[in-house]
Amino acid sequence: MSLAKLPSRTRGRVTRVRVDHDLSRRLMEMGLVEGTEVQVVRRAPFGDPLQIRVGDYDLSLRTSEAELIDVTRVRG
């Protein structure tokens, strides 16, 4: 599933980033690489942007960017 579809307060692990070189580099610099655990903290009132937690910091991503990041849900 995409990161955009991950429910709020749910953790996931990045399995793939499907973007062009420029955006891919920016996401990698923010720590969104394969194997990284992320958590959707909350969504803006109209669903865009998403606040996500990567490690010990929070990021805001557009929904269109989050759609390009595949994750698997982490249990527990």
**What CATH number has the domain bearing residue 51?**
2.30.30.90
Rounded distance, CA 48 to CA 64, Å?
9
- Domain ranges, residue 23: 3-73
- Long-range residue pairs from 50-58, CB within 8 A, at least 24 positions apart, any chain: 50/3, 50/4, 52/3, 54/30, 55/31
* Residue-level pLDDT at 72: 95
- Helix then strand then coil, % of the chain, to nearest 5: 20, 40, 40
The 10s digit of each residue's pLDDT in 38-70 is 999 999 888 789 999 998 999 999 998 899 999
* 21 φ/ψ angles, rounded to the nearest 5 degrees: -60, -45
Q: How many domains does the chain contain in total? A: 1
pTM listed for this prediction: 0.85
Tokens of 52: 């996500």
